[in-house]
Amino acid sequence: MTIKPQLRIALIYVIVSVLWIWLSDRLLVAVLHDQYLFYRVMVLKGSFFVTCTGVLIYWLVSRDMRRMDRVNQRLRDGHLQSLQVLVSAMDIRHKETSDHSERVMRMATGLARLAGIRGQALRNLRFGALLHDIGKLALPDSVLVKAGPLTPDEIAVMRTHTRIGHEMLRQIEFLRDATDIPFAHHERWDGTGYPQGLSGEMIPLAARVFSVVDVWDALSHPRVYKPAWPEDEVIDYLRNAAGSQLDPHLVKLFLAHYDELVLLGTNEVPELISIQ
């Protein structure tokens, strides 16, 4: 039978406490006959008991917390692996270049670190970047993989993927805080984007970080509707888009660490090692 951690800690505490009180009291009664000295030693014994049991409880709780952290990490890794399989299938359907979603996730994570994003916010950004186009699963192939230009009606359908993705992720508890990128990565710094027409720093930071990487990736790799652009033209586009389409500070940061981030996107270096 498996004992719950909280019950195990309580049982250990009770057993140690009872044994200590019973044995130490019997020892003091047998050894000390001076009443004043007896009470002084009892006070010291009580203080020693409180200190030692506090340390014991701290060690027991810390041990179980470390065990829970390991279990949670395995769960997060399992979630990520499952999502990577889903996203790979989505990229194939969308006829994206291989590794598109994972590439932009790695690069966005690297740029986010450079921008000072850490902890839970970085985890949410990582999931959001991987699932940035999850809403496209609901779009018809006639729009999603159309080789030529989209009509105004088709553009309107395409733009629904941000709201669809937002609603999909909101239904999954561990992804509810990872919706900034799927919902807002088509917003523009000048306020002319969609779906809400946000501008400047009203756009969530995670979405602004991702947009820089996503624009670079879209231009640098072929799509069903266009060939890949030359690298120098992509860099010129990013510079010109700073302050209109993209956050100018993040574009500057991206270009300042361009080689590192592109290398991170190739997956030829371990993520989170090349950029700290």
The set of catalytic residues is: 136
What residues have CB less than 8 Å from 252, skipping those under 6 apart?
A: 242
Thinking of the domain 100-131+177-266, which architecture would CATH place it in? Orthogonal Bundle (1.10)
β-partners of residue 202 are none
Measured distance CA(210)–CA(245) in Å, rounded: 12
Q: Distances from the Cα of 246 to the Cαs of 52, 86, 205, 238, in angstroms?
A: 58, 29, 11, 8
Measured distance CA(274)–CA(252) in Å, rounded: 19
Dump the DSSP string for 8-42.
HHHHHHHHHHHHHHHHHHHHHHHH---HHHHHHHH
Nearest by Cα to 127 from 100, 104, 144: 104
- pLDDT tens digits in sequence order for the chain, 276 residues long: 567 777 877 787 788 778 877 887 788 777 777 777 777 877 787 788 778 878 877 887 888 888 888 888 887 777 777 777 777 777 666 655 557 888 999 999 999 999 999 999 999 999 999 999 999 888 888 888 787 788 999 999 999 999 999 999 999 888 899 999 999 999 999 999 999 999 999 999 999 999 999 999 999 988 777 789 999 999 999 999 999 999 999 999 999 999 999 999 886 555 543 334
- For the chain, the domains span 1-94, 100-131+177-266
User: Which pair of structure tokens corresponds to residue 225?
Assistant: 């509707």
